[in-house]
Structures are given as C-alpha cells and as structure tokens.
A = this chain, B = another copy of it.
Amino acid sequence: MGEGTFKSIWQNRIIEGMDICLIGAGNLATQLGTALASKGCAFSQVYSRTELSARKLADALNCEAVTQLNQISPRADLYICLLKDDVLPKALPQINFGKGLVVHTAGSLPMRILEAYTSDYGVIYPLQTFSKQRKVDFSEVPFFIEAASPEGLETIRGLVSKLSDIIIPANSDQRQYLHLSAVFANNFVNYLYMVAEDLVNEQGLDPKYLLPLIKETACKVQDLSPRMAQTGPAIRYDTIIIDKQLELLQNHPDWKSLYEIISKGIHQQVQEIY
C-alpha cells in the first residue's frame, strides 16, 4: 500500500468521523448536504432563519435544526457557511465556531472575511447553478478550493473528493473572476434566453421551439471554442440584416442597445481569429 493510498484512507476516516454543521438551508445547502450524507458524512446541525427550511433539511440529514445563530454549537469539527453573500458577513460575528474549521461557499467573498472568527478556515466554491427543481450531478462539478493552512486545504480536498474529482485550488482574487464569468455564462445567458422567448411569444408562436437551438448552442461549445463556433450576421457585420433587425427591436430600446454592443463584439472577436 503506497503512502498516498494510506493517507487517503486515513483522511477518509477522519472526514467520516467529523461532525459537520450546515449554516444555511437553500438550494446549494440542500444538494451539497444530501450528497455528502449519501457518501457517509455525518451532520450535527442545520441552521436556517426559516424554521421550515431548517427542519426539512435537518430531517433529511438526520440532525438537529436550529433557527437562531446563537444556537449553533461550538463543538462541530467543520462549519459550512452557505448563507447569501450579503447575509454572511452580518451573521459571522454572532456565531461561536469553537475550534472548528470554517468554510464559506461564496464566489465573490474573499476567504479572509472568516479570519476574525476562527483560526482555521477556507472556501469551497462549486462552479455550477443550483435550483430546487433540478438535482445536480456533483461528479461533473468543478470545485475551486482555498484554505488558510495546508491542513485545512487537505481536509477540504478530502471532503470535496467524496463528490467530485475536479478540484482546483484558486485564490480569492481568481474566485471573484470565476464568479463574474459564471454571471455571464449563466445569469446573462439565461436573460438572453428570455429575450429570445419573448420575441417569439410576441409573434404568437410557442417559445418552446427555441429549446433545441438553445441546447445545441450549449452542446456545440463542449468540444469547440465559442470563437470557432460563432455563426450569424454579426460575423461579417452584414449591415443589411443588422439594420433590419435593429428596426425590429424599435419597441425594446434596451434589447436594441444589447444587439448593437454584442454584434460589434462578435465582429471584433472573429477578426481576432482570421
């Protein structure tokens, strides 16, 4: 048995022996918690301001539900903070973390916001979108991790490796850009889906007809870079079509501005290749 294998078995035992406290009971907390539980992790408490949410997730994880920050026990080995980015900084001073390792999962918050409240801390940032309606396959999710100490990093890596093999160290600066790029690739893309569906709807046609195109557009870049995958009138900056389409958007000035900026961007992007 090599040293690596021994180390990983040993680490696995430590992680399965840890008491984990989940602070938050939203989409990510629910999916992460139940996935870790299914891999043998043990939870001691779930905190949520909303009693129903706390109880529901705590029941699923077979642990205690608490609704006050001062009810969080200082005896857990690991605290995973999954509160919203604007809520977490205000909650932290009200929690006694004892000697536990504390991690947060927020893309745009630096690791150091945890510094004042515990000696060992870090970040687990899964680059994916989570919603109540859909179960995410964690084995395909890239996890970006960061920690204040090498020991903390190994514990975080051991925990995350129960779910995914895609584990990448990234510092707080890198992570805020990862979050920004996720806003473009997810939130903003989803907004364009809405614009497209509204335009089809306004013509009395069913927006569901856009779904195969939406799917193929995402599938295409799985093996082709977006630059190489680009098509459409903006590539050649075909002014006849572009002017016609801008006219069609005259009742939607914001979409018209978007159309202009992105078309110029596409034209420029393609010129960079050729």
Q: Which residues of A are interface residues toward B (Cβ below 8 A)?
A: 85-86, 108, 127-131, 133-134, 136, 140-142, 144, 166, 168, 170, 173-174, 176-197, 199-200, 202-205, 209-227, 229-234, 236, 238, 240-241, 244-245, 248-249, 254-255, 257-259, 261-262, 264-266, 269
Contact = CB atoms under 8 A, between A and B. Distances in A.
Given A186-B214, A190-B226, A258-B262, 9 more contacts: A133-B223, A134-B216, A170-B203, A174-B203, A176-B248, A181-B210, A183-B245, A184-B259, A211-B221
B185 A210 contact: yes
Contacts of A131: 220, 224, 229, 231
Contacts of A203: 170, 173-174, 177-178
Given A180-B245, A245-B180, A129 B217 contact: yes
A134 B136 CA distance: 26
Nearest to A211: B222
Contacts of A86: 236, 238, 240-241
A6 to B, nearest CB: 30
B248 A183 contact: no
A56 B218 CA distance: 29
A92 B265 CA distance: 32
A258 B127 contact: no
A157 to B, nearest CB: 16
A252 to B, nearest CB: 10
Contacts of A108: 233, 241, 244-245
A216 B170 contact: no
B85 A212 contact: no
Contacts of A249: 180
B187 A234 contact: yes
A225 B10 CA distance: 46
Given A181-B199, A203-B177, A218 B220 contact: no
